[in-house]
Copies of this chain bind each other. A is one copy, B any other.
Amino acid sequence: MKDAGGGKGLITLLTDFGLKDGYVGALKGVILSINPAATIIDLSHDISPQNILQGAHVLSQAAPFFPKDTIHVAVIDPGVGTSSRHPILVETSRYLFVGPDNGIFELVLQSEKVRRVIHLSNREFFLKDVSHTFHGRDIFAPVAAYLSLGVDPAGFGKKNGRIKKHRLERPRTNKGIITGTIIHIDRFGNIITNIQKDFIAPAKPGKFILKVGDRVIKKLVGTYGKAERGETVALIGSNGMLEIAKRDGSAALELASGPGQRVTVRILK
């Protein structure tokens, strides 16, 4: 299946299944039973259970680095087995995304050109017995495997044309104050916000004021190394988002911050 010019046959997996149970293994078995030549890459299986915002962030950070034609499967799916969310397939100019229509693709699609949205309904491409609780294994994995074999997206169900709007917050600017949200705490305790670097670009030294809870941070640096030991600073992280980091420590512990919390930034002239 491999093709030097792209990601044909390449499937990435993002779930909240963890690695201590057999769930991820079952997914891979299903894929390889349909397409033994597929290459499967784990993005993460350690998204906090049912945390769509965190999953959406991790997906948006990793997916864009993959080659054209990669199939990205994301299964953070608190509504599994209910009629409140549809299983979907989103085709963009670069990738195919497979998962529940619950907001998990909202961030990554901001930098993609969507071509088609298909509601997955053709049971021919599902496992024979679809359980109520494990659509990752029974629907999303086999659909991804058939896609990797070259089946046309149109074959998987009805073209719907749109994705449900979800409530993943975006930053906004009002009277010179940028208001954003903490979307992720990474392994190093760095606090990652949804404020892109474009919002911050005009900041000059000494002209930056960030507030989170009752804490104020005025130092915006180019790299961790520019902070003093133990100092908490703001910087543009490797994914182009505003982050708060503590040199040789955890900013999240220091500020007692977590996903969902509001952050405001004022840029002085």
A residues in contact (CB < 8 Å) with B: 2-8, 10, 12, 14, 16-26, 28-30, 32-33, 36-37, 39-49, 57-67, 70, 79-82, 131-134, 137-138, 184, 186-188, 222-225, 235, 237-239
Contacts and interface: CB of A to CB of B under 8 A. Distances in A.
Given A12-B25, A25-B12, A47 B32 contact: no
A17 B81 contact: no
A24 B64 CA distance: 13
A264 B32 CA distance: 38
Q: Is the interface of A mostly helix, strand, loop or mixed?
A: loop
Most buried by B among A8, A19, A186, A222: A19
A51 to B, nearest CB: 10
A74 B36 CA distance: 21
B58 A44 contact: no
Contacts of A132: 222-225, 235
Contacts of A188: 49
A128 to B, nearest CB: 12
Contact of A131 (B2, B37, B137, B238): B238
